[in-house]
Chains A and B, each alone.
Chain A
Amino acid sequence: MADYKRPASEEDFHQNFAQKKPLMNDTEAYLESSRCLFCFDAPCVTACPTGIDIPLFIKQISSGNTEGAAKTIFDQNWFGNACGKVCPTKVLCEGACVYNHQDVKPIDIGRLQTYATDSVISSGKTLFKPGASNGRKVAIIGAGPAGISCACELRTLGYEVDIFESKEKPSGLTLYGTAPYKITNEEVLAEIEYLENSLGFNIHYNSTISTKEQIEELQSNYDAIFLGVGLGPTAKLDIPGIDLKNVEGAVEFVEELRMKQHEVTVPDRVIVLGGGNTAMDAASETSRMGAESVILAYRRSKEQMGGYSFEYDLAVSAGAKGLFNVQPVRIVGTDKVEGVEFIRTEQKNGKLEYVSGSEFILECELVIKATGQAKMAPFFDLIDGLELDSGNRVIVDSESFQTTNPFFFAGGDSVNGGAEVVNGAHDGKAAAHGIEAWLNSQNS
């Protein structure tokens, strides 16, 4: 049933993971940008978490000022290029396009955005410069979208910025956690390199901050700290057999896939556990890696899945099959996975209940748990006075992104519980201004 052959080379891999939003050529961009109505108080802008002036940048493309368009985009969002590709535009800007109300195809905003930003990233032309040094230093923990956005914004304000990143490459889940058909590694890294070259922040790779001593040292060397640490590994699923070989977390699977590409071998039969977007991605990806059978198993109904319906459709079109109202109760196998035992579920009086005696076993050679990421609560315990909410999310001021310990600011997944690149980009930028306002108020 697999539509995809197992990729034997990097070329095969890129073919199986063909970009969903390929780079527009000049003609496409000209014609598509010409369709924009230039709405007043445009709903696409309101729908964008970073508030990019979309009608403006589209008119700039249309009038032959692509560089100006790129500037308009980066002015609001330092991840402008990546967001054009990885944002769920169907439910954000493009979903808000007024054309939808007359069943006219909405403007292809994401691809226009990438087109504009790609033009300056490819040419290397610098649009932004660091601000005059103000003598202040900020440490940022985590080089994901929030951390890098915060760094970029702080650089324009004249801060010296050091980012401490535990991995060996930047941009967090944009690189390590995004489905490969949304954006390539090269594209992700090119944008970061462009920003680094323009603004000159320092990223210290393989530099995990995990002790109280390290944090205290940062506190004594810097004027403020921004936490863009994201979430932890895939949360533990407490069922028998979960520690068998070939039971993997979705986050870990995607990371390995993105780094090793065609060198990853996916067995014939795969079961993905979960109903969120990461589960959809994992199902799509294993199908594209040539698995013969991919079952996306979710404990509730199809309608109750947390993932976007278009992501589910994409997984199905790649060859995955949905299996709903099934709860895994045991991973079957002696040394490595041989199958998953499920019990059927049903909704009764608003509660999910098991259907007794409905247990069954589905055979497989790989189980991917897409059952959510663990929170970084143990890390946050290292910081005095930093409070978390009941869902272990860092509590921040909604405008300044200052935590309950005023020296620390935070944004991205650790604050919102896990959202999009664009949300991290917004938080980081806003936090930079929060830091600036707080430090100014300290001095006055």
Chain B
Amino acid sequence: MADLSINFAGIKAPNPFWLASAPPTNSGYQIMKAFEAGWGGAVWKTLGVPVVNVSSRYGSTDYRGSRMVGFNNIELISDRPLADNLKEIEEVKKYFPDHAVIASLMVESKAEWHQIIKDCENAGADGLELNFGCPHGMCERGMGSAVGQEPEVLKTIVEWVMEVATVPVITKLSPNISHITDPGLASVQGGTDAISLVNTFKSIVGINLDNYAPYPDVGGAGSNGGYCGPAVKPIALNMVRELASHLQIKGTPISGIGGIETWRDVVEYLLLGASSVQVCTSVMHYGFGIVREIEAGVLQFMDDKGYDTIYDFVGKALPNVKEWKDLNLNHKVVATIDEEKCIGCELCYIACEDGAHQAIGLSGDPGNRTPYIIDDNCVGCNLCSLVCPVQDCITMDRRDDGKAEITWAERMANNDVPTTFNDSRAGGLGHYVPEPSLALKKNQK
């Protein structure tokens, strides 16, 4: 069986499945329970300065029958006494010497940073994570994302930390920034051992339509919260990818965070360059037990593909994430509807008709609700296959000969690009678009 153990920038753990610094890591009790359940590491809920919290604290984005596809919070860092947390770190390490216990930190002055690092190392923390991410509350006090959004400040603090730290240091980045590589590069230049991302996104999950307060509602008012959960995964994945493929950042271990719930999510993060992952929302939703599904799935994947360790496939998808100009313009796919499977919901029809390229037709026979593809109009956009509720009913079939590949970059180099809209080489020219007036009911047969 594959070996899941990792050495992440010097932090050893039995597996790459860690808990992110968040409510599930608020206490030694929770972390011991998590380790027993199968988690390989935990980043302690951020330690720092004394804080006071509000009630309520969490908000959710529900989508139809699904709860918490997105989740936000306005909770601050740990509101427990530092001494209690340190004592519990020590105790957890006694029970679980081989698991990774990482102290997440957020303080202000250089002296405070130096002191708290010493305290955590003395308590036995295996590593430190610098919280430059929280987009609510703490940033108003000059910490969290207030640091993460200023690469120069971030770099300076990383430098302070590296002056004294004797255990590996992970810098946690805020995604509330135009280019994630700016703080990423700053952290590397400051000397960080590793990077973790993403922290939460500035967000409002909704408004109470009776009192007009944003959720979570604190007495008829709210504040922007930090957004996470399955809904943010695509954005986080891309940010991980940007760092992992950046010339001056790649090589720095990355811990991937954002919307992870299943083994599939974990594998995707690893394929895009993360070499550990951190999970919060799905544990807040389902408890620590979800790690069983994650571990079983990752092991199955590794066995199926013949990987011995995760390092055999970390970053394996990166070469396939290209710039648009390097994609093959000759690649052509066209939708095919499996008439046996089609249930006649006609969602593909209306999606293509109203939302895409008018490339799907209806039979006109009330007894036959299976739509048909108008091959000449189909641009291979995938939309129909994405909206189809039936598994494997609409497939995108390859129609080019698979031989000659040509990219926009190559055509630019060959001076083979359209220069006017009527240029025969311009896109969209052969594509049928109905007359605008045909949209009106009175003009349809």
Contacts and interface: CB of A to CB of B under 8 A. Distances in A.
A289 to B, nearest CB: 40
B343 interface: yes
A43 B65 contact: no
A29 to B, nearest CB: 11
A418 B64 CA distance: 40
Contacts of B345: 37, 39-40, 98
Interface size class of B (residues with CB under 8 A): 10 to 19
Contact of B346 (A40, A99, A101): A40
7 contacts: A34-B64, A34-B66, A37-B345, A39-B347, A98-B369, A99-B343, A102-B341
A31 to B, nearest CB: 5
B350 interface: yes
Nearest to A35: B65
Given A39-B345, A39-B347, A102 B390 contact: yes
A31 B65 contact: yes
Interface string B336-350: 000001111111011
A177 to B, nearest CB: 32
Question: 7 smallest A-B Cβ distances: which pairs?
Answer: A34-B65, A34-B64, A101-B343, A40-B346, A40-B350, A98-B343, A39-B345
B289 interface: no
B84 to A, nearest CB: 39
B389 interface: yes
Given A101-B344, A102-B390, A40 B349 contact: yes
Given A102-B341, A102-B390, A41 B346 contact: yes
Interface string A100-143: 11100000000000000000000000000000000000000000
Interface of A: 30-31, 34-35, 37-41, 43, 46, 62, 98-102
Given A43-B344, A102-B343, 7 more contacts: A37-B345, A40-B347, A41-B346, A43-B369, A62-B64, A98-B343, A101-B344
A62 B65 CA distance: 8
A37 B389 contact: yes
Contacts of B366: 46
Contacts of B346: 39-41
Most chain A Cβ neighbours within 10 Å, of B66, B342, B346: B346
Nearest to B389: A37
Nearest to B66: A34
Nearest to B349: A40
Contacts of B344: 39, 43, 98, 101
Contacts of A34: 64-66
A99 B389 CA distance: 9
B341 to A, nearest CB: 7
Contacts of B66: 34
B201 to A, nearest CB: 24
A46 B346 CA distance: 14
A30 B343 contact: no
Contacts of A40: 345-347, 349-350
Nearest to A98: B343
A386 to B, nearest CB: 34
A30 B65 CA distance: 7
A122 B368 CA distance: 41
A36 B344 CA distance: 14
Contacts of A100: 343
Interface string B360-385: 00000010010000000000000000
A98 B389 CA distance: 10
Nearest to B348: A40
A35 B66 CA distance: 10
A40 B343 CA distance: 12
Contacts of B349: 40
Nearest to B350: A40
Nearest to B209: A64
